[in-house]
């Protein structure tokens, strides 16, 4: 009875929680704020190692490269300040500018050819996606992407030799008059290197573009066919705009690969004949490790980096999908 009277008194009411509970929630170790703080520390702990590696192996070498570009240094002795002298010599040495021109020409082979062929091949495979031939062709075309570039360079060097597979096939079909050492002729060496790069990049472009085409709503193609659109009209009106972002990724990756080409060129031609396949990456390597002109190599690397950014950033803006 006493308990009932106590509960029935109008002046008495139970307190849900003491005031100290709200204070505990505000402390770093308790409540939602504490959990968020702990998650923040965990996230920071995961980011710090990656950031440290990035600073040590990307930002620091980049800063040192810019610094070395203003000095005349052989990598061992004392360095001499020359200001922008290393940059002005780039204009005076035709082979240095020629290497940049060769890299720009490789963009046609490394980027445009794989992207165009990848679009056409992916559009064809999409129409026969359930067939066994489509699955086999997709696998075969992607295989060059998993082959190391050094192995690809060696293999194609054998194939493009004077008595290689390519010339033997041309002789077999009556084209023996046009056979040559494709990598040893100044008029065809750069194009032959470009063919190797296009062969390697085709698999990646095909996979990216094919994955982009699979997300297109089939109802769009059905509506286009009802309106009387053919395969070509479907491709330009539906397929091409729908894979705009994938095309941007393909072009960006392949353009960077063309400008930064080193492995394939070094294995197949080493920059020859007569510097016809010399590219900036190879020229930087020769200047820094053979000629011991570290400052000149650094200046060329800085200009090369600016060239890559000047080419890639507009591509990213042009292929960016509008909201």
Tell me the per-residue pLDDT of 19-57, one tens digit each, with 9 for 90 and over.
444 444 444 444 556 788 888 788 888 888 889 999 999
Confidence band for 59, pLDDT divided at 50, 70 and 90: very high
Is the pLDDT assigned to residue 132 strictly greater than 80?
A: no
Report the percent of the chain where pLDDT is more than 70: 87
Q: What is the pLDDT of residue 148?
A: 86
Residue 3 has pLDDT above 70, yes or no: no
Average of per-residue pLDDT across 262-279: 90
SS3 letters across the chain? CHHHHHHHCCCCCCCCCCHHHHHHHHCCCCHHHHHHHHHHHHHHHHHHHHHHHHHHHHHHHHHHHHHHCCEECCCCCCCEECCCHHHHHHHHCHHHHHHHHHHHHHHHHHHHHHHHHHHHHHHHHHHCCCCHHHHHHHHHHHHHHHCCHHHHHHHHHHHCCCCCHHHHHHHHCCCHHHCCCCCCCCCCHHHHHHHHHHHHHHHHHHHHHHHHHCCCCHHHHHHHHHCCCCHHHHHHHHHHHHCHHHHHHHHHHHHHHHHCCCHHHHHHCCCCCCCCCCCHHHHHHHHHHCCCCHHHHHHHHHHHHHHHHHHHHHHHHHHCCCC
Examine the pLDDT at 62 and tell me if it is beyond 50.
Answer: yes
Question: What average pLDDT does range 273-300 have in this prediction?
Answer: 90
Identify the pLDDT of residue 131.
65
Q: What is the pLDDT of residue 30?
A: 47
> Bigger pLDDT: 262 or 145?
262
Q: How confident is the model at residue 168 (pLDDT cuts 50, 70, 90)?
A: very high
Give the mean pLDDT of 60-83: 90
Q: How confident is the model at residue 2, as a pLDDT?
A: 45
What is the structure's pLDDT at 183? 92
Of the ranges 82-86, 128-132, 156-160, 258-262, which one carries the lowest mean pLDDT score?
A: 128-132
Q: Is the pLDDT of residue 102 over 80?
A: yes
pLDDT at 4 exceeding the cut of 50? no
* 173 has pLDDT over 70: yes
Say what the pLDDT of residue 250 is.
92
Which pLDDT score is estimated for 160? Answer: 92
């Amino acid at each position: 009875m006493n308990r009932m009277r106590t509960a029935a008194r109008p002046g008495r009411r139970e307190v849900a929680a003491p005031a100290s509970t709200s204070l505990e929630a505000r402390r770093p170790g308790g409540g939602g704020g504490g959990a968020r703080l702990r998650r923040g520390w965990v996230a920071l702990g995961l980011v710090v190692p990656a950031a440290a590696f990035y600073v040590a192996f990307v930002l620091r070498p980049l800063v040192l490269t810019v610094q070395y570009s203003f000095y005349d240094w052989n990598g061992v002795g004392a360095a001499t300040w020359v200001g922008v002298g290393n940059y002005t010599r780039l204009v005076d040495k035709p082979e240095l500018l020629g290497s940049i021109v060769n890299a720009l020409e490789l963009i046609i082979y490394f980027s445009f050819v794989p992207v165009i062929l990848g679009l056409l091949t992916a559009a064809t495979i999409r129409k026969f996606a359930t067939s066994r031939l489509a699955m086999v062709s997709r696998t075969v075309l992607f295989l060059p992407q998993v082959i190391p570039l050094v192995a690809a360079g060696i293999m194609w060097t054998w194939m493009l030799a004077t008595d290689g597979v390519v010339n033997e096939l041309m002789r077999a079909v009556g084209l023996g008059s046009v056979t040559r050492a494709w990598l040893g002729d100044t008029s065809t060496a750069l194009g032959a290197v470009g063919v190797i790069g296009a062969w390697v990049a085709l698999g990646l472009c095909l996979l990216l573009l094919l994955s982009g085409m699979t997300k297109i709503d089939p109802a769009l193609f059905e509506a286009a066919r009802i309106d009387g659109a053919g395969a070509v009209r479907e491709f330009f009106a539906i397929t091409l705009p729908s894979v705009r972002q994938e095309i941007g990724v393909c072009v960006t990756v392949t353009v960077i690969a063309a400008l930064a080409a080193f492995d394939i060129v070094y294995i197949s031609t080493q920059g020859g004949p007569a510097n016809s396949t010399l590219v900036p990456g190879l020229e930087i390597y020769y200047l820094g490790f053979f000629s011991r002109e570290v400052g000149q190599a650094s200046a060329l690397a800085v200009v090369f980096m600016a060239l890559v950014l000047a080419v890639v950033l507009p591509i990213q803006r042009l292929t960016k999908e509008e909201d």
